[in-house]
Structure 1
Amino acid sequence: MPRATSTDISLTKSYIPKVSKIPGISPTIAKFYKSIENRNIHEGRVVDQAYYKSNNIERLFTNIRFDCLFKINEPIVPRFILDFYSQVTVQTDEYGYLFISFMIQHEFITLTLAQFGQILKIPYNGQAVFTNEWDLASLEYSQETEGPYSTDLPTPDDIRRLLELERVMVDRTIKSQTVTLTPNQILTKELSPDMKQWEELIRENVFGLGGHRDHLPACLAHMLYCVVAEEQYNLAYFFVKEGGPLKIKGTGRVSWAAPLII
């Protein structure tokens, strides 16, 4: 029986059984696991204190409990994340409440969204919406209009006005074609230098590091709006709807799995 991992993360790489060495395992699966089972997701890379103490980041982020984004400092073994999220499910009850269910050491566990947020130490109430789209108008189309997560969202005009965006270009080349941007499609270069730091901090710890970093996803623009407006934002809802840290993609967000897995 392995020792409790909750107080001994640093040694998990040595005593957790190697998936890649299980007799008869698929070569494809073995190759996938082998590249990650001997390392941690986080091995010392944290947000520099000078960074989050500049440009009002600490004060504004703390006001809406986003200070959790610059306090991540826990080494996590990828094997735990894969084992956990390979069987986690998200359900909705008859009243519209979200529940997260999973199994650890043969024990079936179900958490409410509030419990999920409390364990992960992230905000679990406030404005709730999820969309993968770039255009700000997609927020309205994606919001829940009734139930426990019904949200009175800001309009695209509200977001653009509060973020004090300045259109720097109208046309953009996408796949060798010139496309005219709509007012609701925001480029990261339209953010002020201070707000660009906020955007980087949120993107690296909430969103994947891949994709197009030259434009601002609608949900990220909404989060920045909440920071400036000091509106609470339901980060737990976003993670669950977005799929949370369900994939190993070299992202900072996988460390949110830590409190549940160890």
Structure 2
Amino acid sequence: MPRATVGDTSLTRSYIPKVSQTPGISPSIAHFYKPIENRCIHEGRVVDQLYYTSDHIDRCFSNIRLNCLYEINEPIVPRFILDFYSQVTLQKDDFGVILISFMIQNEFITLSLQQFGQILRIPFTGQAVFTNEWDLGALAYSQDTEGPYHTDLPTPEEIHQFLQFQRTDSNRKIKNKNVILSSNQVLTKELRQDLKRWNELIYENVFGLGGHRDHLPACLAHILYCILAEQQYNLAYFFVKRIESARATPKAHLPYGMFLTRLFRHVIELYPHLDNGIYDVVERVMRPLALRQTRRPRSDRGKARHSVSSTSAHHNLGSSSHQGDDDEDDGASRASTPSPTTYLNSLKPLDYQPYEVPTSSEQNDDLLFERQTELLNQSQEIHKEVRGGFKSFGKALRGVFGKKKK
């Protein structure tokens, strides 16, 4: 099966909008967007049914609600992704609950980790840890030591026991130097054959880092352990921690393109006035993550990757001409698919109490802003600029798109 991450992410440059070059935009806002719009977006992969029904993937992943990783099939909203990453910040409230705060045009939005997980339809409880390290020993040093996300993580020995690594050679050359691997540094080729497919699926829709695919990141080994041990895994925790890490890393890809489309729909549902014509949807020609029946010649492998067409049609999400396409992955039209509000009110992904979506007035409550004091103090000046500048900014954009339509 061809690896799509490295090649496909570079193609996203063909549709990422250059917001900083918008006529009339203020220098402050342009400076705000420029570091983000020059990166690539890791969209994620659509997974073919033949793939996830092989090697017990469907049964084992579904046991701990990780079937969300192969049931994702969304278009991309690149401008929303830029808006989100340009200001997203994590903080904790007095109870240690993670809050995800971001600004979309002139609306300041804060979600708890549980709300974020429910909107993206991913698990938000269970074992929680994040690290970019390779060594399994890094897990114990990376977890929360107290609070709602502290969990009893497996030891490296327990992970070894469940994954049954088969070390073939402890010697490895790194940067032209011979290195002896420790028992906690696992190579991908040391996985069982069936787990190699599990690893590829998780890598494509959770990590998508590109490069260094020859070794197993500690967090990926931990996810494989949770699947085999049937331990709930807090995917929302990993997502937001990786989002924070990617934003802080100047050249990192912006992850979770398809998943963030679900957040976009939620935001537009709560704040309809934000759907003002600046958000275009990119429909991609998807090459799904599928079983490779025969080994392709090296020169042909790149052709098997899904491609992003620079001439793809751009549609406004929610327009009548696009409703059927948006929910095609769910096997139903928008008319038969519940709205984000209805969906979230009825959702119990991990047998928890139903979540009530906060209304627009609740989002602007004094109580909400008290919890955001630290974040607001940090970004007060830029928020003033954004609040004052987005009105003229929006007019300029509508003028540009209006000319294109003519």
Q: TM-score, normalised by structure 2?
A: 0.55
In the TM superposition, what whole-angstrom CA distance separates every residue of 1:34-64 from its partner, at most 9, and x where no partner exists? 998xx9957xx62110000011000111111
In the TM superposition, what whole-angstrom CA distance separates every residue of 1:190-210 from its partner, at most 9, and x where no partner exists? 001110000000001010231
Which one of 251, 255, 259 corresponds to residue 258 of structure 2? 255
Instruction: State the distance in 2 between where 1:213 and 1:52 align.
Output: 20
Aligned length: 243
What SS does the aligned partner of 1:147 have? coil
Q: Which residue of 1 aligns with 2:278?
A: none
For the 8 Å contact 1:129–1:144, the answer to whether it is kept is: yes
Instruction: State the distance in 2 between where 1:18 and 1:170 align.
Output: 47
In the TM superposition, what whole-angstrom CA distance separates every residue of 1:224-252 from its partner, at most 9, and x where no partner exists? 00011111000111111222695696677
For the 8 Å contact 1:170–1:180, the answer to whether it is kept is: yes
Computed over aligned residues only, the root mean square deviation of the Cα atoms, in angstroms, reads 2.9
Q: Which residue of 2 aligns with 1:199?
A: 199
Q: Which residue of 2 aligns with 1:214?
A: 214
Instruction: State the distance in 1 between where 2:129 and 2:117 align.
Output: 16
Instruction: State the distance in 1 between where 2:39 and 2:158 align.
Output: 46
For the 8 Å contact 1:208–1:249, the answer to whether it is kept is: no
- Aligned-pair CA distance for 1:105: 3.7
Instruction: State the distance in 2 between where 1:34 and 1:133 align.
Output: 26
Instruction: State the distance in 2 between where 1:156 and 1:35 align.
Output: 35
- Aligned-pair CA distance for 1:110: 1.0
- Aligned-pair CA distance for 1:104: 2.4
Change (3 A) 1:67 1:207: same
In the TM superposition, what whole-angstrom CA distance separates every residue of 1:7-60 from its partner, at most 9, and x where no partner exists? xxxxxxxxx986365126689978985998xx9957xx6211000001100011
**Quick one: which amino acid aligns to residue 210 of structure 1?**
G
Q: Which residue of 2 aligns with 1:104?
A: 104
- Aligned-pair CA distance for 1:88: 1.3
Instruction: State the distance in 2 between where 1:205 and 1:102 align.
Output: 23
Structure that is richer in helix per residue: 2
Q: Which residue of 1 aligns with 2:346?
A: none
Q: Which residue of 1 aligns with 2:71?
A: 71
1:4-23 equivalence runs, <5 A:
19=19, 22-23=22-23
The alignment status of 1:118 with 2:130, answered yes or no, reads: no
Higher relative contact order (CA 8 A, sep 6+): 2
Instruction: State the distance in 1 between where 2:177 and 2:34 align.
Output: 42
Instruction: State the distance in 2 between where 1:34 and 1:150 align.
Output: 36
**Quick one: which amino acid aligns to residue 113 of structure 1?**
L
Work out which of the two has the higher radius of gyration on C-alpha atoms and give 1 or 2. 2
1:123-202 equivalence runs, <5 A:
123-202=123-202
What SS does the aligned partner of 1:206 have? helix
- Which structure 1 residue ranges, 4+ long, deviate > 4 Å from structure 2? 24-36, 39-42, 244-252
- Aligned-pair CA distance for 1:158: 0.3
In the TM superposition, what whole-angstrom CA distance separates every residue of 1:103-150 from its partner, at most 9, and x where no partner exists? 224121111100000000011000001111111011111122211111
**Quick one: which amino acid aligns to residue 122 of structure 1?**
I
Instruction: State the distance in 1 between where 2:208 and 2:17 align.
Output: 29
> Taking every aligned residue pair, what percent have the same amino acid on both sides?
60
Q: Which residue of 1 aligns with 2:225?
A: 225
What SS does the aligned partner of 1:103 have? strand
**Quick one: which amino acid aligns to residue 261 of structure 1?**
F
Instruction: State the distance in 1 between where 2:254 and 2:67 align.
Output: 18
Change (3 A) 1:84 1:163: same
For the 8 Å contact 2:36–2:82, the answer to whether it is kept is: no
Q: TM-score, normalised by structure 1?
A: 0.83
What SS does the aligned partner of 1:237 have? helix
For the 8 Å contact 2:134–2:217, the answer to whether it is kept is: yes
**Quick one: which amino acid aligns to residue 199 of structure 1?**
N
**Quick one: which amino acid aligns to residue 232 of structure 1?**
Q
For the 8 Å contact 2:96–2:147, the answer to whether it is kept is: yes
Q: Which residue of 1 aligns with 2:84?
A: 84
Q: Which residue of 2 aligns with 1:4?
A: none
